[in-house]
Amino acid sequence: MSGLVEINFDGIVGPSHNYAGLSLGNIASASHKGDPSYPRAAALQGIGKMRGNMERGLAQGFLLPLPRPNFGLLRDLAVDAHTDRALLAAAWSASSMWTANAATVSPAPDTADGRCHLTPANLVTMLHRGQEWHDTQRQLKIAFGDERHFKVHDAVPASFGDEGAANHMRFCEGHGAAGVEVFVYGRPGGRFPARQHEQASRAVARLHGLDPDKCLFIEQNPEAIAAGAFHNDVVAVANERVLFTHERAFADNAVACETIASAFPALQVVEVPESAVSLEEAIKTYLFNAQLLTLPTGEMALVVPEECRESAAVWSWCESMLASNGPIRKVIPVDVRQSMANGGGPACLRLRVVADPTTVDARFLLDEAKAERLESVIAEMWPEQIDPADIGSDSLAKTVIEAREALLTVLSLDVLA
């Protein structure tokens, strides 16, 4: 379809960004629990990543922080001075910044009605994330409100955990062409919860009107989940014809690759062996939680966290990959350390939507003027530092609420206040 391009919608890091260690199975989040956080630096790092992609000639959008603290959740849980502080912290979480979990997206060329379908993720496995989807849906219904081109669904029932695009891959000859959609699920019973339920993935595929012959359902490696790969995008990422994956990403990597290749014969697999980069090192550095992008030149670039350059094993492998003249031609490190400390790399921070930018509400699309306005509000209004003891204070609540409202005002999105 003409006019269709991939737009990355990054989550703006909210002013309540903090390290409460709420995410069981997220090693980075747990290891930084109780550390001071730096919301202003975090948000500016995120804008910097967006600017980089925009400067590379790529379409860039954003989604906004959700209302925090969530007073409705505090009321529903009857939180008081004697309550477990984890429940209090959940209502302050800025985790909606990781928009890879905002929804699952099926572009128009894949769907029965020729519209782009978006299903918000219910995120029910974790309290601090399970509160998000209604507010996320409000944004999606504004950003993608043209019902001639988009359909925004309700989340799937909470009986089945759904974590959105972080467990979804799409293979195609080009973003505007029909593709094969791959849904990766986990089996329960391991050390950490398997957050993506197979039935949630199958429900999303049906909701989106996908061709059953162009949908694949593949099991994530339980060892990867146990090692801290709480989403598939921590161990594998896809773009057009390319699958970039760790050797231990799937329950059976060889079968997974054969299955995808059967449905999409043009598949090119770039597999990182355990002998070169261990699963643990891949998760520590978030090598695979990267943005695999097609640049305007047609070359593919991998946008990785700076932590990859600081790992001898990972960086050596990246250099050898580039020297091999494979499909990935550039590796671009970016600084998203504040997000990384909470367990979210470059890929966590973005939701990929294939659409004609002219059909999207322009208030959610980034340009230079908007980037400057965002940076100005963040620099002035976002807290410089939040300590764990600050969570729950009236003064911090006032600061966080006013900061978000200022952002909505400069974007003419007060309807979301």
The confidence score (pLDDT) of residue 351 equals: 98
Q: Which of 163, 240, 281, 307 is catalytic?
A: 163
The confidence score (pLDDT) of residue 93 equals: 96
Q: Which of 6, 231, 247, 281 is catalytic?
A: 231
Q: What is the mean pLDDT of residues 365-386?
A: 98
Look at residue 403 and tell me whether its pLDDT is greater than 80: yes
Between 21-25, 74-78, 284-288, the lowest mean confidence (pLDDT) is in 21-25
Residue 75 structure tokens: 């009321």
Look at residue 35 and tell me whether its pLDDT is greater than 90: no
Bridge partners, residue 289, by sequence = none
Q: How confident is the model at residue 342 (pLDDT cuts 50, 70, 90)?
A: confident
Look at residue 233 and tell me whether its pLDDT is greater than 90: yes
Yes or no: say if 178 and 172 are a contact pair by the CB < 8 Å rule.
yes
Mean pLDDT score across all residues of the chain: 95
| Upstream peptide bond of 36 is cis (omega within 30 degrees of 0) | no
Look at residue 12 and tell me whether its pLDDT is greater than 80: yes
The confidence score (pLDDT) of residue 91 equals: 96
Look at residue 242 and tell me whether its pLDDT is greater than 90: yes
Q: Which of 116, 215, 257, 348 is catalytic?
A: 348
Which pTM does this prediction carry?
A: 0.96
d(CA 49, CA 400): 23
Q: How confident is the model at residue 25 (pLDDT cuts 50, 70, 90)?
A: low
The confidence score (pLDDT) of residue 361 equals: 98
Query: Considering all CA atoms of the chain, what is the largest pairwise distance in Å, rounded to the nearest integer?
Result: 60
Share of the chain above pLDDT 70, in %: 97
The better pLDDT of the pair 397, 189 is held by 397
d(CA 59, CA 53): 8
Rg of the chain in Å (alpha carbons): 20
Residue 284 structure tokens: 């520590």
Look at residue 345 and tell me whether its pLDDT is greater than 90: yes
Q: How confident is the model at residue 402 (pLDDT cuts 50, 70, 90)?
A: very high
The confidence score (pLDDT) of residue 26 equals: 60
163 labelled catalytic: yes
Q: How confident is the model at residue 89 (pLDDT cuts 50, 70, 90)?
A: very high
**pLDDT tens readout for residues 327-336:** 999 999 999 9
Q: How confident is the model at residue 195 (pLDDT cuts 50, 70, 90)?
A: confident
308 labelled catalytic: no
Among positive and negative, which fits the CA dihedral 304, 232, 216, 195?
negative
Look at residue 228 and tell me whether its pLDDT is greater than 90: no
172 labelled catalytic: no
The confidence score (pLDDT) of residue 189 equals: 66
Cβ neighbourhood burial of 123 (10 Å; 0-12, 13-18, 19+): buried
Look at residue 380 and tell me whether its pLDDT is greater than 90: yes
Q: How confident is the model at residue 188 (pLDDT cuts 50, 70, 90)?
A: confident
Yes or no: say if 400 and 383 are a contact pair by the CB < 8 Å rule.
yes
